[in-house]
Structure 1
């Protein structure tokens, strides 16, 4: 295992491609944000990059559950499948044009194929693509 150089909030923001304000004003205030190391770079606190990566994996990044590509899912079934989005969010995003049209509307129930949902999730911020991270 290679020791990684401790990093500041600015380093973390740069490395993750997120705004520094998101890291400093949102992530660092999360109850599970890692404690700073007992050293500083100038006036800046330093964090262990491995601890930061664990935090991001567990609390920021969301991965879609394995959905069956040709199975139809309702919004509630998607929420229960653990995709990281509530059924109400799916419905609201659908109304705002931020979620794809249903693949099936039999009996006035909106249903999406797993493949459609997976594609929609890949374009949403906060989701890992292809399991990388």
Structure 2
């Protein structure tokens, strides 16, 4: 009887974390903290799910910033608080992945904290609550 290590393949990790196989295989595994394989199932590498979850929680997921719901934030302020760059906001707006500004009366476009929080909640890497 062959003793097969218990672990997860890239596809299983991707399914469990709601990501694509390509994201796990081509992006996550490049992180220096990514765990070493613990074995193989057929031709597929296996990874310890606990070690994978630890790397994802510590390095790959980002907490949602605690924004004041009724305060208006510029793209630069959003960048400082969330890590989403102003350039990414502009790019995502042009692709329909970021909402139009709530306020366009000044030179800088601004979004309510509630709008930003709702938008970030839809981004998979931003689903943990901010820790105080």
- Band of TM-score, shorter chain: 0.7 to 0.9
Does structure 1 conserve the Cα–Cα contact (< 8 Å) formed by 2:62 and 2:128?
Answer: no
| CA deviation after TM superposition for structure 1 residue 112, in Å | 0.8
* Aligned residues of 1:63 and 1:84 also touching (Cα < 8 A): no
Q: Which residue of 1 aligns with 2:17?
A: 16
Q: CA distance change for structure 1 residues 102 and 21 in 2, over 3 Å: closer, same or farther?
A: closer
Deviation at 1:129, TM superposition (A): 6.0
How far residue 118 of structure 1 moved from its aligned partner, in angstroms, is: 0.6
Q: CA RMSD in A?
A: 2.2
The higher relative CO (CA closer than 8 Å, separation ≥ 6) is in 2
SS of residue in 2 equivalent to 1:112: strand
The gaps in structure 1 that reach 5 residues or longer are none
Q: Does residue 115 of the first structure (1) align with residue 114 of the second (2)?
A: yes
Runs of 4+ in 1 over 6 A off after TM superposition: none
Unaligned runs of 5+ in 2: 1-5
1:64 aligned partner: 64
| Partner SS state of residue 103, structure 1 | coil
